[in-house]
Every structure is written in structure tokens, then in C-alpha cells.
A and B are shown apart, each in its own frame.
Chain A
Amino acid sequence: MAEMLQETLLDIKDLKTWFKTDDGLVRAVDGVDISLKRGETLGIVGESGCGKTVTARSVLKLIDMPPGRFEGGQILWQGRDLIPLDTAEMDKIRAREIAIVFQEPMTSLNPVYTVGDQIAEVLRQHQNLSRKEAIGAAAEMLKAVHIPNAEKRVHDYPHQFSGGMRQRVMIAMALSCKPKLLIADEPTTALDVTIQAQILELMQEMKERLGMSIMLITHAMGVVAETCQRVVVMYAGKVVEEAPVESLFGDPRHPYTQGLIRSIPRVDRAAEARQRLEAIPGTVPSLLEPPPGCRFASRCKYVTEICTKAMPPLKEVAPGHRVRCVL
């Protein structure tokens, strides 16, 4: 038991992040349990608006409050609950222990500073370095993320870099204090496919080098299959399935997961059979006062009467494979 506890880096328990809006309470994250072990890459997938990003931002407490509010639950970081911490204490955890990379590399860098200055700024905030040392360390980080000519590029401004390069800079910045967990919030969505592959490879490499864990948030199933060990599928603010990556793709149990996997475009099949790409009909239900029962019921092919009565619990169907479905 003691060994298990030591291994778990992040343990989110029954997290509820709700937003108060003029129309009512939006239950963006509604009782999510996610745990992450040291050295693990965990994928969180789901379509837009399912609560992936809110979950990730909740971990670093980057949700604006108000309108956001933690309605309940715990975020245990190495056994310590982050929710009651104040901003000053969170600032010590940000970057040093948990860092985040955002989706938009084009706008995530401050346009008036050189990239070196920005990485140096993060370093100096958390470590006692002189300006020269910090710039040197920044150049070293740029080199580590394979930016050619790093010692020169460190003095360039963000607008002199391409999208993929900027995302490398963002990763260098996030990793400059050697965090134990990197949260990557759709890090490749804004990039083209070849650059995507490079960035994913880079994250993998940095993970091995620094021995950190990654929480990868994405809606691309292909990315998940390639990089993650374990996957959490979210739908409408709830975890609907959680499994090791092989069993998720080999034996998806939840109808939503099955739909997601079938909706991956496949060059080989479409060419033979002239099939149309399968899609899940309908859209995500409103998270304002959701109805009782399974949230996927309105779009599910296999819907039964019991589905609309009560929310099915998350039950274990195989070791490490849990599903929120009555079937």
C-alpha cells in the first residue's frame, strides 16, 4: 500500500469545477477521478466541450474564480491537496512541479521579449540565477528541444519563429524548471501533421530524459494510440471509460469510445469500400442542469430505458479497465 501511494503522483478525486453563468450553473467537470503515476503518459480524450481542458486547468488552478468554482473533490499532488492552497503557494508549484503547454503556440509567447528572456524569466523566478546564467541556461534548453543555432536564436523575438518552433520554445519554457508533470493541452492541434509528429516525439524524448509524467489532452485518437500508456475518455464532464491504451483500442466497451475509434479516418478502408466516415450523431448535451441518467443516452445506439433513469457507476470490467455503462 505504501508503495502504491508513493507511485501515484497526481490523484484527482471526485473533482467538480462548475461555472456560474447568467443562464445557470454549468457543470463543466462533474465528479472526475483521474490518477497519474510517476513516469506515465496519460491521455485524456473527448470532443470539444467535454471538460478536458477545464480538468487540466483545475489541476494548476488556472480557472478564473468567479465565474468558476470548485464545488467539491480533491486534487492530491503527491498526497497534498492543492485546492485549499493560495496563489503564492500555487506559484511555487507551477513550473517547478507541474508545468503546462497550451494549444496556441502563436500567441502564448510575449511579443515584446526575446525567447531567451522569457525562458530566463521563468528560471529566475524559481531559481537564484544571474541574468547571464539564466540566458545561458535558456540557450541550453533551446538546444535540448532541438532548435538549431540555439545560442543565436535565444536572442530572437517570438515573431521570428514558426509555429512548430514556437511550440518547441513553449516546451523548453515549461520544462526549464524540470517539473515532475507536464500537462499538454492539445499541444499539436494548431500545427500541421509533420510538425505534430516532431513535437510528440520531442515530448516523448524529454519525458524520458527528465523522468517526468505527461498528461496529454487531445481529441485526436491517433495521437493517443501513439504516445500514451493509459487513456481516460471524457464525455460531458464525466469520465466514461478508463483503460490501458491496448485494451482501449482492442476492446472499447463504452459506445462513445467505440464511436470515437470508428470515426478515425482510415486511408486503407475508405479506398476499398467507398465508405463514408462514420460519425457520432448529435452534439454534446448542455451541461446546464443535465438530466439524470447517462449523459450519452441521447446519442447512444444501444440506449435502453434504464440508461435515462440513473447515472451508471464506473465499474471495472478488466484489470485497469473501467467503464461507465450498463452494458
Chain B
Amino acid sequence: MAGSTPVSLSADPPAREALVAKAANRIQFSPGREAWRRFRRHKLAMAGAVVLLAMIGAVLLGPLVWKVPINEIDFSSHLEGPSWAHPLGTDDLGQDILARLLYGGRISLAVGFCAMLVAALIGVTVGAIAGMSRGGVDAMLMWLADLFLSLPQLPLLLLIIYLFRDALTKVLGVEGGIFLMIVLVIGGLRWMQVARLVRAQILSIREKEFIEAARALGASKMRQVVRHILPNALGPVIVAGTIDVAAAIIAESTLSFLGLGFPPDIPTWGRVLFDAKDTIDVAPHWAIFAGAAIFLAVLSINFIGDGLRDAFDPRRVL
């Protein structure tokens, strides 16, 4: 075999073209498709994906089908258990819980995902910069992360919201303004864990031989990080991201409860749950359904995160 292939690697054009075409044709088996194939094998993750998709479908399409108004007060049917008229029962003002959960789910899920994206974006950027730069910059960014971690979050939230609430609602309207503010506040206070995670990953991965090999073959620093290091650091970040979604949904609930989030007439899941706590002894269904919605969403997101991590790690045989 040695020596049979000619000098320019291409003196036998037909054979070469056939080889190139054969290799290129298999590209349809793309990494994305491969990851999907592997994701499907993860049963819990698939179940999580189905549940989450069903929930997203329900909150998007549900209010179009279940046309009971969310704010109709009817004291004659207050704190009723599930019935045909109100499948999930009613609350203390006689409002239909199903309608409120369907409507509130839009906001809760959107807040969760957007806040996670904000946290992940800031976290990955800060972590990558800290991990790749030695000395001063790294130390400063990590001090910043420590600083944020040590801030008492609730007073800070109060301050930010009092300062910016009116200005933002003026520009973007009540819902839009508060949505943006809550997403930024939650995301902006949850990036530190991701940043530390990414930094730690980069510190270990950048010393690996394949990074040196990439450098030796002319990859710029940016390219080393984006193409070679970050994909290897992705697993833990995905898991942390899914936990952040869950945490953001819960954080939004806390804010709403304190009157700092959405106004009481916008029934996010957290809001509904907190409203329910006073009557949990006489009308447990109210709290149970609201809690179940949060629980199901968070659980399925965590399973999906697990599945994604496995699917994107080619070393794991699936």
C-alpha cells in the first residue's frame, strides 16, 4: 500500500472524486441529528420533553380553548373542588383555577427560560474570559462573582425594582416592563454559579493536549475557546442551566408574593400558589394544582437537561 498513492494526492482523479463524494454525502448524518438520535434513547428525558411540550402547548393554546375569564369573581362558587364547570376548582374569589394556571403558565415558563438564558449568557462569557486570562482579570472577575454571591439578594431586588419599575413600565407597558425587569434581575443575580463552573472547566480543559495541538495548528485564542474548549465544557453548563430555569420560576413566585413582581391580577404560578397557602386546610386542591404545575415543569426540565448532556457527549455510548 505504501507509495501507491501519488505525490500530489490527486493523480488519480476519478478515484479521488469518488472518495470525496462518498465522504461528503454522509454529512447528512449531521451532529444535530446524531444528538437527537441519542437524546431519544434517554427515556426519562424523552418523557420530560413530552410533558414539557404538552405544558407549553397547553399554556399557548389552552386559553383559546378554555375561554373562562381569569378575573371573573363569583362568590357563590368560592373554594369549590374540581367539578365539570371548574375542572381544577375555584379560588377564594370564585375564579376558575384552570384558566388562571393556563394564563399564568405563559409568564412563568417564559420568565424561567429567559432568565436562564440571561444567566447562562453572562455566566459563560464571564467564566470564559476569567478562565482564559491569567492573573489580574481572572481575579477581578472572580471577586465580582463573589461580591454578587455575598449580596443580600432580596434588599437588592427591592432597590432595583423601586428604582426602575416606573421608568420601564412607561416605556414597555405594565406586563412588558415588569417581564423584562424580572428576567434581567433574576438572570443578573444567578450567573455566578455558571461563571464559576465555566471557569473551572476551562482551567482544566485548556491544559489538555488537544488544545495545544489546536494552538500548534494555528487556532486563534477565540477559536480555541469557542470551537474547542466550550463544547467540552457544555455538559455541566446545560445541567446548571436547567436548574436555573427551575430556580427562576421559583424566584419569580417569590417576587410576585412580595408584591414586587407582576401585579396580583396577573396570575403567575407562584402567585397562585402563594395566594392558596392561607386556605390550604380547607381547599388543598388550590395549592396542589398550582404546586403540581411548577413541580412538573421543573422536573421535566431537569430530566431534559440530563438527556441533553448525555446526547452531546459523544464518549458516552448510547
Q: Which residues of A contact B (CB under 8 A)?
A: 60, 62, 87-88, 90-96, 99-100, 102, 104, 107-114, 116, 121-122, 125-126, 131-133, 135-141, 143-144, 146, 150-152, 154-155, 157, 159, 170, 173-174, 201-202, 205, 209-210
B214 near A99: Cβ-Cβ < 8 Å: no
A79–B233 CA distance with the chains assembled, in angstroms = 41
Interface-lining segment among B24-32, B178-186, B246-254, B300-308: B24-32
Could you tell me which residues of chain B, from 174 to 203, have a CB within 8 Å of some CB in chain A?
none
A144 near B21: Cβ-Cβ < 8 Å: no
Residues of A within 8 A of B24 (CB): 132-133, 135-136, 139
- Minimum CB–CB distance from A118 to chain B (whole Å) comes to 8
A107 near B218: Cβ-Cβ < 8 Å: no
Given the known A-B contacts A121-B227, A143-B5, are A95 and B217 also in contact in the complex, defined by CB atoms under 8 Å? yes
- Minimum CB–CB distance from A62 to chain B (whole Å) comes to 6
B314 near A146: Cβ-Cβ < 8 Å: no
A125 near B216: Cβ-Cβ < 8 Å: no
Given the known A-B contacts A94-B217, A109-B210, A112-B231, are A140 and B2 also in contact in the complex, defined by CB atoms under 8 Å? no
Could you tell me which residues of chain B, from 1 to 31, have a CB within 8 Å of some CB in chain A?
1-3, 5-7, 9-10, 16, 19-24, 26-27, 29, 31
Given the known A-B contacts A152-B26, A205-B3, A209-B5, are A108 and B213 also in contact in the complex, defined by CB atoms under 8 Å? yes
A209–B23 CA distance with the chains assembled, in angstroms = 23
Given the known A-B contacts A131-B27, A152-B26, are A107 and B210 also in contact in the complex, defined by CB atoms under 8 Å? yes
A151 near B26: Cβ-Cβ < 8 Å: yes
Residues of A within 8 A of B216 (CB): 60, 62, 94-95, 99-100, 102
Residue-wise, chain B 201-232 has the 8 Å CB interface mask toward A (1 for contact) of: 00000001110111111111101000110011
B315 contacts which of A87, A107, A111 (Cβ < 8 Å)? A111
A276–B26 CA distance with the chains assembled, in angstroms = 57
B220 contacts which of A91, A143, A154, A209 (Cβ < 8 Å)? A91
Residues of A within 8 A of B214 (CB): 110
B20 contacts which of A87, A108, A136, A155 (Cβ < 8 Å)? A136
A155 near B217: Cβ-Cβ < 8 Å: no
Q: Does B138 contact A (CB under 8 A)?
A: no
- Minimum CB–CB distance from B295 to chain A (whole Å) comes to 33
A123–B73 CA distance with the chains assembled, in angstroms = 68
- Minimum CB–CB distance from A179 to chain B (whole Å) comes to 10
Given contacts A94-B216, A136-B21, A155-B29, 4 further A-B contacts (CB under 8 A): A91-B218, A102-B213, A112-B231, A141-B9
A95 near B26: Cβ-Cβ < 8 Å: no
B213 near A151: Cβ-Cβ < 8 Å: no
B26 near A155: Cβ-Cβ < 8 Å: yes
Q: Tell me the nearest residue of chain A to B16, going by C-beta.
A: A140
- Interface size for B (C-beta < 8 A) is 41
Chain B interface SS verdict (over half): helix
Task: Write 20 A-B pairs (CB below 8 A) sorted by A numbering.
Answer: A60-B216, A107-B208, A108-B209, A108-B212, A108-B213, A110-B210, A111-B210, A113-B231, A116-B23, A132-B27, A135-B23, A138-B23, A139-B19, A139-B20, A146-B1, A154-B26, A173-B213, A209-B5, A209-B7, A210-B7
A144 near B217: Cβ-Cβ < 8 Å: no
B210 near A108: Cβ-Cβ < 8 Å: yes
A133–B16 CA distance with the chains assembled, in angstroms = 12
Q: Does B313 contact A (CB under 8 A)?
A: yes
Residues of A within 8 A of B5 (CB): 143-144, 209
A135–B231 CA distance with the chains assembled, in angstroms = 20
Residues of B within 8 A of A136 (CB): 19-21, 23-24
A205–B10 CA distance with the chains assembled, in angstroms = 16
A90–B220 CA distance with the chains assembled, in angstroms = 10
For B214, B221, B228, B312, the residue with the greatest tally of chain A CB atoms inside 10 Å of its CB is B214
- Minimum CB–CB distance from A191 to chain B (whole Å) comes to 15
Q: Tell me the nearest residue of chain B to A210, going by C-beta.
A: B7
Q: Tell me the nearest residue of chain A to B3, going by C-beta.
A: A205
A102–B212 CA distance with the chains assembled, in angstroms = 9
B218 near A94: Cβ-Cβ < 8 Å: yes
Q: Tell me the nearest residue of chain A to B214, going by C-beta.
A: A110
A292–B29 CA distance with the chains assembled, in angstroms = 64
Residues of A within 8 A of B20 (CB): 133, 136-137, 139-140
Given the known A-B contacts A136-B23, A140-B16, A154-B23, are A104 and B209 also in contact in the complex, defined by CB atoms under 8 Å? yes
Given the known A-B contacts A102-B212, A108-B209, are A173 and B27 also in contact in the complex, defined by CB atoms under 8 Å? no
Q: Tell me the nearest residue of chain B to A88, going by C-beta.
A: B220
Residues of A within 8 A of B29 (CB): 155
A100–B22 CA distance with the chains assembled, in angstroms = 29
Given the known A-B contacts A62-B212, A111-B232, A121-B227, are A173 and B22 also in contact in the complex, defined by CB atoms under 8 Å? no
A251–B172 CA distance with the chains assembled, in angstroms = 87
For B5, B31, B208, B231, the residue with the greatest tally of chain A CB atoms inside 10 Å of its CB is B5
A114–B21 CA distance with the chains assembled, in angstroms = 18
For A99, A109, A113, A133, the residue with the greatest tally of chain B CB atoms inside 10 Å of its CB is A113
B314 contacts which of A93, A96, A141, A157 (Cβ < 8 Å)? A157
- Minimum CB–CB distance from A210 to chain B (whole Å) comes to 8
Residues of A within 8 A of B228 (CB): 110
A95 near B218: Cβ-Cβ < 8 Å: yes
A173 near B220: Cβ-Cβ < 8 Å: no
Given the known A-B contacts A151-B22, A205-B2, are A122 and B231 also in contact in the complex, defined by CB atoms under 8 Å? no
A278–B242 CA distance with the chains assembled, in angstroms = 62
B232 contacts which of A110, A141, A155, A174 (Cβ < 8 Å)? A110
Residues of A within 8 A of B23 (CB): 116, 135-136, 138-140, 150-151, 154
A113–B217 CA distance with the chains assembled, in angstroms = 16
A122 contacts which of B27, B212, B218, B221 (Cβ < 8 Å)? B218
